[in-house]
Structure 1
Amino acid sequence: MSRSVIIEEAGGPEKMKLVEVEVGEPGPGEIRIRHKACGLNYIDVYQRTGLYPLPLPHALGMEAAGIVEAVGEGVTHLKEGDRAAYAAVPPGAYCDVRVMPAAQVCPLPDGISFEEAASIMLQGMTVEYLFHRTWPLEKGQTVLFHAAAGGVGLLACQWARSEGIELIGTAGTDAKCKLALEMGASHCINYRETDFVPEVKKITGDKGVDVVMDGVGKDTFDASLDCLKPLGMMMSFGNASGPVEPVSLLTLASKGSLKMTRTTLFTFLADHDRCQAMAKHLFEKVESGDVKVNIGQRFALEDIAEAHRALEARETTGSTIITL
């Protein structure tokens, strides 16, 4: 038996229930993994609220780390007793133990703890694909990154510094801006006190940035387009403030022949080999010291509703761990 967090209907944090479920043996292409720590991410909120609909009832949670207990037929990259971590579908990571598809579960190096792994798989591989697989970023280019003191943002600040990329961050308090700067941002703008568009133009000598990476969505999207230089790339990868309204192609033309993409991590992770390569790249960044894991807060599994409330209220910094 295992504890598991489920929803039977979409809604607020109170809709989540902690229940006991029976866990069986893995079938072909599956593993059974006993979790040591789970991660918390905004996609969990989207699924809970119904913005990203799930067939109900459904378990929640997208990332975790632990020890492989059993391996099904055809699984060759993992074995019983292996340390492993993942960000993967289907949701169901908020639990003690589960059976799941093995393809997107990745061997975890001994030098990275379970808590560290659970805090960086989804966020870290998001940064990996934004910087290396969406548009070819080069040393010396400039990036505007919103929510730079969040879990993804603090990893992006460090990643940018390690790649020689100038990252301009935004955050909602001076303390969060200070943290982003300490982690590698070249500049950070307190968007509650300063209009970030003229500030970005000032920092870039009125040229604008090469790329915007925006996980905030509705509140920042339109203004972000005004921060791009001609031929710049808008990467929208999240909706923390709500989904982005439809955009006219003529708007992109009038603002300088801009490019735009709406990405999701799980499109990149769907291919087994690419997923494993992305995780390996992330682990190399962590083990080299280029990227340091920042766990800002921890919540017990039975306090999952409180964790969701803190995340939605933007009261968290860095990554959040669910302890078991």
Structure 2
Amino acid sequence: MAIGLNYIDTYHRSGLYPIKLPCGIGLEGAGVVQEVGSGVKNFSKGDDIAYAALPLGSYSDERVIPEKIAVKIPDGITHKIAASIMTKGLTTYYLLYKTYKVSANETLLFHAAAGGVGQIFCQWAKSIGCKLIGTVGSDEKVDMAKKNGCDFVINYRKEDFDKKVLEITENKGVDVVYDGVGKDTFEKSINCLKVRGMMVSFGNSSGSLNLIDVKKYIVPKSIFFTRPALMNYMANRNELEEGAQALFKQIKFGKVKIKIFKEYNLSDVRKAHEDLESRKIIGPAILIPNE
């Protein structure tokens, strides 16, 4: 059994995303079915399964989940890998195929290209044939982002990423910006877009966005803006199965390679959250229930 560690977990813990107590936290995990309810049709005792959805509560040794949120893990994918990829991988799937269906040769900007979502997104986007620009916060992460598939990597602590993006694109701008950082990068992200480009704000690791001045940010280049959420893109069984199978296929065929950055004992979850919030985690990380 393994539990996925995600930045959104810190939002639930801190209250940025309010939850009704009593409630655990944690969106994703993987393990073995111990028992099934009388109405369960698609799973049996002993099945290897993974999930990434409400209700919260994956930070646990055992739990009861509804059948509708689980998917079977195919042979060749471990519990640890499955737990580390469900939220990040399904997020990547909807970003690339549903929020905006990317095409080969389009130019994308992805923030935090060495992070957990970045590791999966960049490899997957590159397999489609996109031109990929990534931003990171250290020279160590530059190398990681390049390994993930970025054609260009910008250390935003050393240079203005919007100016560098326009230089790379010869002042044309990018087709899409994928921004999971939020408040600190929003304005410069808008600067990076081409006319009628797409701004995808899918996270707030630096804080939530303020109210958006449409006249100032949207109108000048007729850009599109969206704030997607995983739950709305995996809203039914068909969408979940489609996304999960696409994700597992990418991994099984080697187009997306997963390297787990760190494993924490569940009892050390405080340290795990501190490392998340201080940006010490490069790539997917997981929690292992205490034996």
Interval containing the TM-score (normalised by the shorter chain)? over 0.9
Q: Equivalent residues in 2 for 1:146-295 (5 A)?
A: 146-295=111-260
Q: Does the CA-based 8 Å contact 2:123-2:149 persist in structure 1?
A: yes
State yes or no: 1:81 paired with 2:34.
no
Q: Does the CA-based 8 Å contact 1:67-1:83 persist in structure 2?
A: yes
Q: Report the 3-state secondary structure (helix = DSSP H, G, I; strand = E; otherwise coil) of the residue aligned with 2:119.
A: helix
Q: Which segment is superposed worse, 290-299 or 244-253? A: 244-253
Identity of aligned residues (%): 46
Q: Report the 3-state secondary structure (helix = DSSP H, G, I; strand = E; otherwise coil) of the residue aligned with 1:211.
A: strand
Report deviation, 1:253: 4.0
In 2, distance between residues paired with 1:214 and 1:116?
A: 25
State yes or no: 1:111 paired with 2:76.
yes
In 1, distance between residues paired with 2:128 and 2:81?
A: 22
In 2, distance between residues paired with 1:213 and 1:294?
A: 22
> TM-score of the superposition, structure 2-length normalised?
0.97
Counterpart residue type for residue 150 of structure 2: A
In 2, distance between residues paired with 1:171 and 1:281?
A: 27
**As a proportion of its length, which structure holds more strand?**
1
Cα deviations across residues 103-154 of structure 1 (Å, max 9, x unaligned)?
Answer: 1111100110110001000001100000001112111001100000000011
RMSD (Å) for aligned C-alpha atoms = 0.9
In 2, distance between residues paired with 1:253 and 1:262?
A: 14
In 1, distance between residues paired with 2:152 and 2:40?
A: 46
In 2, distance between residues paired with 1:115 and 1:65?
A: 7
Cross-structure match for 1:5: none
Alignment size in residue pairs: 289
Cα deviations across residues 16-73 of structure 1 (Å, max 9, x unaligned)?
Answer: xxxxxxxxxxxxxxxxxxxx11010011001011111111121111110101112223
Cα deviations across residues 176-205 of structure 1 (Å, max 9, x unaligned)?
Answer: 011110111111100000100110001111
Q: What residue ranges of structure 2 are gaps of 5+ in the alignment? A: none
Q: Does the CA-based 8 Å contact 1:104-1:270 persist in structure 2?
A: no
Q: Which segment is superposed worse, 252-261 or 122-131? A: 252-261
Q: Report the 3-state secondary structure (helix = DSSP H, G, I; strand = E; otherwise coil) of the residue aligned with 1:179.
A: helix
Q: Report the 3-state secondary structure (helix = DSSP H, G, I; strand = E; otherwise coil) of the residue aligned with 2:113.
A: coil
Q: Report the 3-state secondary structure (helix = DSSP H, G, I; strand = E; otherwise coil) of the residue aligned with 1:255.
A: helix
Q: What residue ranges of structure 1 are gaps of 5+ in the alignment? A: 1-35
**As a proportion of its length, which structure holds more helix?**
2
In 1, distance between residues paired with 2:21 and 2:29?
A: 22
